[in-house]
């Protein structure tokens, strides 16, 4: 196996593949990066058994400056290999596999020899049928993920809650996540004749969104029994699916409310950030919202016995309903408000001091909802 290639183009793709490679794996060969050179180009693969990423560099694309002398495959230690390529002096580099999987890397005045592994021992990638694929505009897909993945659980005691539940049918796509303290649900008009109900790990979706370049216009999704495959711009991103049944979350979202407030999301976010400066210093990390319907007044209170107190009268656009005092974790509300992306008119609806409250955009309020469970302080 021997080739030369443009170093920058190569690094762009290895950076993507590197996201799937972990140094903490029980399968030693998975700490490596697999290079597979065929007549039409170079395929680079990384995997940690939960996610696998492949990137293809085509010989046909002149920008890649890929010259192939002999085909073959090798697995190289990802950490050292990546660092070597990044620090090479030239614009191009040459890679050649010698006897006993030793690999020679040359560029300018530099020459490295590193020990590789037999690529035949590298695990096979999952097989996912790509005939029936869903196609998303990239911006919309990223938005859906960013608005829901914030609510996945970090606790492995209930594995299904560490993922985002995607329900896809002829009516559209619903994605929902909850850690039992908060919930995020987004609906979009992407339909499928087939009905799917799958749970994608939140960590996989986070890495996927980081991998998608801003220049990518569309992303395709193909689903198999226990894997999902996302394809875009010569990159294939595989993720395992979580086993189990996701809880019925629709019943958790209240249909009506007794008190509603309308805010600009960025204005409310700034107020909550200030109020939480002190709450973070206390053990329970709670702030209180006091609403006085008759006076048309809403006030946030933060308190830390060690530091002091904060009180802020909120600037809102409309207030309707009953008086209310409710306490909650400010970090959950900050995450929810950031998910609206900039300045958006939102409606915050309350039922009672001990029932979850919802945050929705004023426009398209049926398509997106964030729900937060209050904290009992008495």
Instruction: Count Cα atoms within 13 angstroms, Cβ side, for 121.
Output: 13
pLDDT digits over 190-200, tens only? 989 999 999 99
130-186 residue pLDDT tens: 788 999 999 999 999 999 999 999 988 899 999 999 999 999 999 999 999 999 999
Domains (ranges, CATH) in the chain?
2-121 (3.10.150.10), 138-249 (3.10.150.10), 253-372 (3.70.10.10)
With a pLDDT cut of 70, the percent of the chain lying above it is 100
Instruction: Summarize pLDDT for 99-135 with one digit per residue, the tens.
Output: 999 999 999 999 999 999 999 999 999 888 878 899 9
For residue 378, pLDDT beyond 70 = no
For 278-295, the pLDDT digits (tens) are 887 777 789 999 999 888
* Beta-carbon count within 10 A of 26 CB: 6
């Amino acid at each position: 196996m021997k080739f030369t290639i443009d170093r920058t183009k190569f690094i762009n793709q290895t950076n993507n593949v590197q996201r799937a490679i972990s140094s903490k794996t029980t399968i030693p060969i998975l700490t490596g990066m697999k290079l597979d050179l065929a007549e039409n180009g170079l395929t680079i693969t990384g995997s940690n058994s939960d996610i696998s990423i492949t990137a293809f560099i085509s010989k046909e694309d002149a920008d890649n400056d890929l010259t192939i002398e002999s085909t073959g495959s090798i697995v190289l230690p990802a950490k050292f290999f990546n660092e070597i390529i990044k620090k090479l002096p030239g614009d191009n580099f040459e890679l050649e596999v010698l006897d006993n999987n030793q690999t020679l890397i040359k560029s300018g005045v530099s020459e490295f020899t590193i020990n590789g592994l037999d690529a035949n021992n590298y695990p096979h990638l999952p097989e996912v049928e790509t005939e029936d694929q869903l196609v998303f505009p990239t911006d919309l897909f990223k938005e859906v993920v960013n608005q829901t993945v914030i609510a996945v659980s970090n606790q492995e005691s209930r594995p299904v809650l560490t993922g985002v539940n995607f329900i896809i049918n002829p009516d559209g796509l619903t994605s929902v996540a909850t850690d039992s303290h908060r919930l995020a649900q987004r609906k979009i008009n992407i339909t499928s004749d087939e009905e799917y109900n799958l749970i994608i790990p939140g960590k996989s979706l986070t890495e996927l969104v980081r991998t998608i370049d801003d220049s990518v216009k569309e992303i395709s999704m193909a689903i198999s029994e226990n894997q999902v495959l996302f394809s875009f711009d010569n990159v294939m991103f595989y993720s395992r699916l979580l086993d189990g049944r996701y809880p019925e979350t629709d019943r958790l979202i209240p249909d009506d409310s007794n008190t509603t407030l309308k805010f600009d999301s960025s204005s409310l976010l700034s107020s909550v950030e200030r109020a939480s400066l002190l709450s973070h210093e206390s053990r329970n990390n709670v702030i209180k919202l006091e609403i006085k319907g008759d006076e048309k007044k809403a006030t946030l209170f933060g308190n830390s016995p060690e530091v002091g107190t904060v009180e802020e009268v909120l600037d809102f656009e409309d207030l309707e309903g009953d008086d209310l005092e409710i306490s909650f974790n400010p970090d959950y509300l900050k995450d929810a408000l950031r998910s609206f992306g900039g300045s958006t008119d939102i409606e915050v609806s309350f039922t009672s001091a001990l029932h979850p409250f919802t945050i929705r955009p004023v426009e398209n309020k049926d398509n997106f909802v964030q729900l937060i469970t209050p904290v009992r302080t008495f």
